[in-house]
Amino acid sequence: MYLSLTEKLIEKKSFRFSRVTGYLIHERVVLEPGGILEGFRSHNEATWSVESGNLVFRDPTGEITTVFDELVIEDGIFHFKGRFLLGNPNEHWHLLDENHRIKHAPAPLVKEDFTTKNSDNNVALLVRTHKADEKFRDLMQKLEINRTGFDIYPIVDNTSPVPVNDRHTVIWHSVDAARNLGLTQTPRGLMHDCGDIPFYFAFREIPEYRHYLMIEDDVDLVRSDATYINRICARLSEPDFAEIDFAGLEYKPIPNTFSWGVAAGKYFPQRHCYWAYFPIVLLSRRAIAFLFSQRQLEAIRDPAIDDVIHCETFVASSLHAGGFRCHNIRDLVPESYDWETMAMQMGELSTGKPMGSKISVREGIEVVHPIYTHEEYLNRLYRKFIVSRRDDWPNLITRLYSEEAVVVSDTLKKELRDKIPQQYRHLCPPPADAGSHNNGEEPINEGIVDETGVPSDWLQKSN
């Protein structure tokens, strides 16, 4: 069959650039839209285009240097041979072979040696972590206080080895283990962008529960015990909610032109594009089985990085389109959270709160998020204001001397204060009198709005 080559067919594809002799010129050359060569430029290769049905490379002056006039497609993979016009224009001299991932066969959903539950509970609570730090341990302890109606399982991302000393059965997962399940998507951060993946490992290891409730380790319980989870479990035992398939925070439609809705909009009609915030998410056993099959199909499609659907739209949109019973978690426990105190990392300057800081919540609020260890809180301040916002020392100083930072030890804060450049030190308040309530630190600006940062390498204590 004759193929008419067009730029749309090959743009955004990545190629191995070499000579017919086997000499490697570059491992990864990406043909970006607009004729841009990403990852490689030289005095002979600066731009690309398709002309007269052939791929061509041009030098910085616009002169054609290579004409790739031979194309073979094997299993959907492009292989080009090109004539180098500045050498011998009658012989093939350059090769372009499309980079592609090795496909992994899907694994069975359930192993024969799965863990048998030792209770009559129908709900498995999955406490998700990739660091098992002080905040994780604090949450685990609170969940044991007054616990009824659910079993607890730490579900641990061990991509970077995490030591977990816990008396509970630990469900492990990792990027490599996900490949063994046939989940070969490669977004920039697999477990971050595809936060539904831990559910598939839970279903593989503990398949006997009716519902699986996952909570992030940076969520905190206002009552400091298991009351909130108990209330959810109690509602799930009622006839109106026993067959619920999904409940998430802020569950609602999302435009397919907005952020994470873009990828979803390529696969779902607008009426099925939904979104839900993921610090707490509830799924039924049948919903997990369905979502797992959809993620495997996504992997088979081998989408571009930006077309891998983010978990917060993938789960909500897939289940809505599939006709499953979907709810906002407020339907189970009304008025149990506010967006303002469940999204304290959202906003231009927000970073979340350190453990022990005072957070004002209205009556009835059960959960807040995110809460960090003191080390991670300072890491995020540094990452947000100095790395992401490029040396925004005034706002970092404001936060470092704010009321919320009072709970952080002066020793930890000193390491960050010592990094403040001399030209900004006049913004730091003078030491207060000895014996003051905050070890000599007075807030200089209150009421700032918060935002999250990405974990940083600062102090070598990042995620």
Give the pLDDT of the chain (463 residues) as one tens digit per residue: 356 889 989 998 889 999 988 888 888 888 988 898 987 778 889 999 999 999 999 998 999 999 999 999 887 889 999 999 988 888 899 999 998 754 444 444 445 567 777 789 999 999 999 999 999 999 999 999 999 999 999 999 988 888 887 778 899 998 888 888 888 877 668 888 899 999 999 999 999 999 999 999 999 999 999 999 999 999 999 999 999 999 999 999 998 777 778 889 989 999 999 999 999 999 999 999 999 999 999 988 888 888 899 999 999 999 999 999 999 999 999 999 999 999 999 888 888 999 999 999 999 999 999 999 999 999 999 989 998 888 999 999 999 999 999 999 999 999 899 999 999 999 998 876 434 444 444 333 333 333 333 223 322 332 2
Q: Which residues pair with 283 in a beta bridge?
A: 212, 246
Q: Which CATH number describes the domain made up of 7-98?
A: 2.40.128
User: Which residues does 379 contact at the CB level (< 8 Å), separation at least 6?
Assistant: 453, 455, 456, 458, 459, 461, 462
Q: What is the DSSP letter of 321?
A: H
Domain residue ranges of the chain, discontinuous segments joined by +: 7-98, 123-331, 345-460
User: Which of 452-462 are b and which e, b meaning 16 or more Cβ less than 10 Å from the residue's Cβ?
Assistant: bbebbebeebb
Q: How many CB atoms lie within 10 A of CB 205?
A: 20
Place of tokens 């189970």: 332
Single out the residue of 319, 334, 233 nearest to residue 273, CA to CA.
319
d(CA 203, CA 190): 19
Place of tokens 């940083």: 456
Q: Are strands 246-253 and 371-372 parallel, antiparallel or unpaired?
A: unpaired
User: Which residues does 125 contact at the CB level (< 8 Å), separation at least 6?
Assistant: 143, 150, 151, 152, 153, 213, 214, 215, 229
d(CA 356, CA 371): 9
Q: Which CATH number describes the domain made up of 123-331?
A: 3.90.550
Classified as helix, coil or strand, 71 is strand
d(CA 342, CA 402): 20
d(CA 306, CA 262): 9
Question: Whole-angstrom distance between the N-terminal and C-terminal Cα of the chain?
Answer: 51
